[in-house]
Structure 1
Amino acid sequence: MRSVLDLVKAGQLWTLPPRPDRAAAARQVLHVHSMRIQPDCTILELAGEIDMLTTWLLAERLDEHLSEEVRLIVLDLSDVTFLSAGGLNVLVIADDYARARGVTISITGCGGLVRVFEMAGLRERFHFVADHQSLVDQC
């Protein structure tokens, strides 16, 4: 099965392909911090904007963690200030990829971003939780 990043590259996403000059700019716009909270559970804290410049960075980070032996990835969007349609598409692709491997992607810290998921018809697709502590307890 192809990786999330490969699937993103193959699709017709509104994203700018990664290049060294764009990579530095993307990392200034979107920060991704990961924490392995249990041997099979990881939290990815995202901060900044998920747009056409940074979607590939999100896909790359999701790829890294989906290639590990995990059963749960929690995306903390508490500090995300913008989520584009391309960002939503990356999340859908990653969720499909994760489900095929028996991995759950849960989302926390959405705040006002939950409206973006609702408007896109994706509210029921993803597992939203109030905070990641409740998921840590389940791991």
Structure 2
Amino acid sequence: MGIQVDPIWWTWLQWNLAIISTIVIQLIIFYVLYKYRMRSPEYEYGKALIQRQALEQSQIIKAQVRKFMETLYPELAARRGEVLPEEKEKAPIPVIESIEQFNEIVEEARRLGIPIPGETKEEGK
């Protein structure tokens, strides 16, 4: 005489095994696709393109900040007394490393009454 298994229990076990095996197969497929995508030429090309665009944007921003500082900083240096008013065009332009440093210079220029390039009087107040 063999082991008697309840048919309801056997059906339940078969359904659970089918569901679990389906989930495991899907997880394996998703893992393989994820690994392929991370190594695909399209992914690498997209990543390189985004990095290049970010570099170009940062260079554009640096150039704009540099141009802005070339118009603002000589007057600020003359008012601070770092250079003589006649020699303010020869004032060394600082390299801006952070947005906080940039904002401090702009706020100091506003306090000293130096007109900010591209800003109207209503915007500055």
Asked if these proteins are the same fold (TM beyond 0.5), I'd say no
Q: TM-score, normalised by structure 1?
A: 0.19
- TM-score normalized by the length of structure 2: 0.21
Q: Which has the higher contact order (CA 8 A, sep 6+)?
A: 1
* Larger helix share, 1 or 2: 2
Q: Write 1 or 2 for the structure with the bigger share of strand.
A: 1
